[in-house]
Amino acid sequence: MHNKSAHPTAGNVFLWILAFIPAVDGLYVRQELHPMALSQNGKFSYGESQIDIRVEIADYANRNGYPATHFADAVCSCGHRSFKLLIDDTEGAAVRECSSCKERHPIGDSSDYLADASLEECECPCGSEDFEMTAGVALYNDSEDVRWIYIGCRCPKCGLTACYGDWKNEYEGYQKLLAKIWRAEQVETRNPHQPLCFHGFP
């Protein structure tokens, strides 16, 4: 059954997310509007692709009171995109293990907290232990420093998408944190002053 660390959250039926890309001289431009499809079955949300993890994290983070504004998708150095997740969100540490090459990476600054962590392996209710993985961070106001981190996963087998762990994280410089383990070119930024739009209203 579901790992106790997991926090499947109530999802919304059709969500829209604004994707921003940084333009020259620091301005942000809207790149395109993607209709997302997160469907609800009982207490679980099901996404169609990895980007739905961001919507699920954003929804969870808004309810948590620290909205997630920056995200990074996990890609192994071998290029593979699914992982086992070992996590202790009390201690604030998580490790991903590549399903293909088996390489293990502490996520973000987790290596600093592994000594005291009791990692538990996450399992989807469908029984699979392989996940697409995306991290989201909330920042302090008018700062690049991290306040809270969220680890979200989607099961490619059944689509279940959830926030599997979140904790207070005070890393200085979110880009460094997201790039540290999640590949730098995968770090995406959107204008922190532009809230995520839900329920189809851009």
CB of 41 to Zn ion, least distance (A): 12
Asked if 126 is part of the footprint of Zn ion (rule: CB under 5 A), the reply reads: yes
- Binding-site member from 13, 29, 33, 78 for Zn ion (CB under 5 A): 78
CB of 127 to Zn ion, least distance (A): 7
Contact 197, 17 (CB under 8 A): yes
Asked if 80 is part of the footprint of Zn ion (rule: CB under 5 A), the reply reads: yes
Asked if 104 is part of the footprint of Zn ion (rule: CB under 5 A), the reply reads: no
Task: Please identify, using beta-carbon distances, which residue of 83 and 148 lies nearer to Zn ion.
Answer: 83
Using the contact rule CB under 5 A, the part of the chain among 6-14, 15-23, 26-34, 121-129 near Zn ion is: 121-129
Asked if 68 is part of the footprint of Zn ion (rule: CB under 5 A), the reply reads: no
* Per-residue contact string for residues 129-158; x = within reach of Zn ion by CB under 5 A: --------------------------x-xx
CB of 131 to Zn ion, least distance (A): 8
CB of 169 to Zn ion, least distance (A): 25
Task: Please identify, using beta-carbon distances, which residue of 126 and 184 lies nearer to Zn ion.
Answer: 126
Nearest to 169 by CA among 115, 113, 117: 113
Q: How far apart are CA 90 and CA 77, in angstroms?
A: 28
CB of 46 to Zn ion, least distance (A): 9
Residue 146, exposed/middle/buried by CB under 10 A (0-12, 13-18, 19+)? buried
Please report where in the chains the tokens 């839900």 appear, as a residue: 198
Positions touching Zn ion (CB under 5 A) are: 76, 78, 80, 98, 100-101, 103, 124, 126, 128, 155, 157-158, 160
